[in-house]
């Protein structure tokens, strides 16, 4: 990974060991991803892993309620935001 980062001019920055509060959003997602995708699937090949992870990503980003969005799905949240924006623009 270090060679790839150097070759692609990427600076690696790691969280401090034992300090998940350095980036709680990523730590929360990583836990969900591990528990709900990686731990429940057998990956038979790289293509199989890509397909199963993409299925998880699609479900997580489009159909799963998120507490940060008042328990709306991202799709519902976007629709609500678009409706609110239209209403605000039509009153101006």
Give the pLDDT confidence of 44-58 residue by residue, as tens digits. Answer: 999 999 999 999 999
Domain boundaries defined on the chain: 1-40, 45-92
Please tell me the distance from the alpha carbon of residue 35 to that of residue 63, in angstroms, as a whole number. Answer: 18
∠ CA 45-42-2, rounded to 5°:
60
> Which residue in 78, 40, 82 sits closest to 62, CA to CA?
78
Query: How high does pLDDT run on average in the chain?
Result: 88
Please state the φ and ψ torsions of residue 27, each to the nearest 5 degrees.
-60, -40
Chain centre distance of CA 48 = 20
Q: Which residues contact 80 (CB under 8 A, 6 or more apart)?
A: 72
pLDDT number for residue 89: 65
pTM: 0.62
């Amino acid at each position: 990974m270090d060679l790839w980062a150097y070759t692609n001019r990427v600076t690696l920055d790691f969280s401090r060991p034992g300090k998940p509060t350095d980036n709680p959003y990523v730590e929360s997602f990583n836990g969900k991803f591990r528990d709900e995708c990686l731990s429940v699937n057998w990956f038979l090949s790289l293509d199989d892993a890509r397909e199963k992870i993409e299925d998880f990503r699609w479900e997580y980003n489009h159909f799963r309620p998120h507490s940060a969005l008042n328990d709306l799905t991202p799709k519902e949240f976007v629709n609500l935001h678009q409706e609110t924006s239209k209403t605000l623009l039509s009153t101006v």
